[in-house]
């Protein structure tokens, strides 16, 4: 994910670009980026599950499915930038 910000006197606007679009724009291995995004989705699913537990949200038997769906969509929308960070580290050591 790439982040650009625009500052005005009292407001900061942050724009994010999903990692999938970064992969199209630069010299990025799509399989490696997909694996990194999948890892981020799993991490975000776990994070969402822990947050919902602490907030007292109970979806019954649908908890796991809801967590996975939210994690995947969150990662596809750009996530928290974890996929990009992991990709940058992995790409340093992977042969091309």
- The answer, yes or no, to whether residue 5 has pLDDT greater than 70, is no
| 73 confidence band (pLDDT: 50, 70, 90) | very high
How large is the greatest C-alpha to C-alpha distance in the chain, in angstroms? 48
Q: Is 17 helix (H, G, I), strand (E, B) or coil?
A: strand
Q: Is 13 helix (H, G, I), strand (E, B) or coil?
A: strand
- The answer, yes or no, to whether residue 95 has pLDDT greater than 60, is yes
> 71: which 2 tokens?
């994690």
Please say whether the beta carbons of 18 and 78 come within 8 A: yes
pLDDT digits (tens, 9 = 90+) for 12-50: 554 545 555 554 556 888 999 999 999 999 999 999 889
């Amino acid at each position: 994910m790439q982040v650009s910000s625009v500052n005005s006197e009292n407001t900061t606007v942050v724009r994010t670009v999903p990692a999938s679009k970064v992969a199209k724009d630069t010299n990025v291995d799509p399989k490696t980026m997909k694996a990194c995004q999948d890892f981020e989705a799993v991490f975000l699913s776990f994070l969402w599950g822990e947050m919902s537990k602490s907030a007292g949200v109970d979806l019954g038997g649908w908890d796991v499915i809801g967590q996975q769906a939210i994690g995947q969509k969150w990662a596809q929308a750009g996530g928290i930038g974890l996929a990009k960070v992991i990709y940058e580290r992995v790409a340093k050591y992977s042969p091309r």
